Structure 1
């Protein structure tokens, strides 16, 4: 008896291995995938500008990074005792003007360097709803709790999303023609936009990706479809009924790994996992002989892996 339908997965054109260099950008679901890659010690960079929900915000970051257009005081503002930038997530905000500018410009540099050297770029789109600043006319990445009356809310059309994706691809490939781009749509439900409006938004994102996909320039991983079909039960959501819970994240990661992780990387991943679990172990008695032996054995495993992969740090 079959009690679940599974979303068919396409084999990866270029699977991830420990020789890969990865940049992960996008919504909060990009954070989940990115943190899994970091847990397993892949050479990866995750969201240098923090969580970016819509394609125009991701395009703006890449465009500015590749143009080497640094941020200045004119690009930031002070509100609620902190400095903010409309192009970045609130996680970058700071009580210090200089600190925020350093974060922004370091993020640009990190993005630029990673794009130039990346073997893979994973981009997760969260929503097609955007907020346009009524004063500047620019679409913002984050409103930073500025009064809503200062923005106009808009739904990007299918063609607008597709055009943004095409510009992203062109920008990336202009400096790194061989990079493998993987797009996915976040399964997080943006219910603050409304139930119907959330579905409308996801439909625009999915349709736009597949419009660009037909040109053969990118790959697609069906995170949204797996959540909606294989995990179609509220027990796979967190208490807010919006975000996938840890079980759902682990399941989608498992499905992602099935097609996007190279077979030869799996033994190393298991060795890394053993070390990670060991590092998280909390003994009853730190001074006991058995724990000291455990620590020494763990150190040997770490040194062994680092000799093989010098970029790994624990």
Structure 2
């Protein structure tokens, strides 16, 4: 008896992620869920140097600025609610000191450029096609930083506008790193503050645009479809009934592994997991002979993994 509809997968045999890969993840908070798993298993990866970016125009802007070596100045920041902010970055970069924020923005944009240059894989998660245009400057922002909504114009990007942003993202990346494998995905997190119907329309625009640009240029991973079709039950959601819970994230991660991680990497991950769990173990008696033996065995496992993958740091 089959009790679940399953999203079919086409096995990917080329450009798989292994422990020699460098992975950059950009976009909606779902990219951070996958990024945290890659980090846990000690892959060389980095996620959202400018913080979470929800829409394609914000991601396009970051990539353009990084590759064009933009230098941020005081003209790019503003003061609000006792903090300095930048409309192009998430509030996690905001700071009470203007110069600290500017220095951080310039450091992160340089880091992004270097990582785009060397990345073997760039995973981009799109969250919404709704954007906010700051009326004073007539520019789309990445984050509103709790400025009153009346100062913005809310706009739904058309499929053509999303496609244009994605094509520009791909073109910019390939201009400095033609070897990079780009994987698009749509966040399964529903932006219900936009409205139920509006969220569905937004996701539809993202999906239509992605499938219009990926042919022979990039790839698509169906995290949105897995959540909507395979995990269509509220027991897979967090208490807010919007975000996937840890079970759902683990399920989607398992699917991602099957498609995008090499068999060699999967074998090493098993041993990394054993070490990570061992390090989290809290003994009843830290000085007991049994625990001292356990610690010694754990060190042997660490050294064995470091011999296989020199960049490992536990």
Partner of 2:126: 125
Q: Please give the root-mean-square deviation of Cα atoms over the aligned residues, in Å.
A: 0.9
Alignment correspondent of 1:296: 296
With 287-296 and 268-277 compared, the bigger mean Cα shift is at: 287-296
Q: Is the counterpart of residue 240 in structure 1 residue 235 in structure 2?
A: no
Instruction: Say whether 1:173 aligns with 2:179.
Output: no
> Which residue does the alignment assign to 2:217?
217
Deviates more, 1:93-102 or 1:174-183: 93-102
Structure 2 residue matching 1:51: 3-state secondary structure: coil
Shift of 1:302: 1.4
Question: Deviations 1:32-86 (Å, cap 9, x if unpaired)?
Answer: 0111111111011111011000000000000000011111111011111111111
Cα deviation for residue 287 of structure 1 reads 2.3
Gaps of 5+ in 1: none
The equivalent of 2:207 in structure 1 is 206
Alpha-carbon distance in structure 2 between the residues aligned to 1:301 and 1:25: 33
Q: Deviations over 1:11-40 (max 9, x none)?
A: 223111111111010100000011111111
- SS of equivalent residue, structure 1 residue 183: strand
TM-score normalized with structure 2 length: 0.98
Superposition deviation, residue 98 in structure 1: 2.2
Residue 17 of structure 1 aligns with which residue?
18
2:196 corresponding residue in structure 1 = 195
Q: Superposed, which structure 2 residues align to 1:98-113 within 5 Å?
A: 98-113=99-114
Q: CA deviation at 1:270?
A: 0.6
Alpha-carbon shift at residue 223 of structure 1 (Å): 0.3
Cα distance in 2 for partners of 1:172, 1:113 equals 12
SS at match of 2:217: coil
Question: 1:283 & 1:72 partners in 2: Cα distance?
Answer: 51
Q: Distance in 2 between matches of 1:99 and 1:40?
A: 32
Q: Which residue of 1 aligns with 2:87?
A: 86
Look up the match of 1:136.
Answer: 137
Moved over 3 A (4+): none
1:257-279: CA deviations, max 9, x gaps?
11111111111101110111111
Distance (whole Å) between structure 2 residues aligned to residue 289 and residue 52 of structure 1? 50
Whole-Å separation in 2 of the counterparts to 1:121 and 1:165: 13
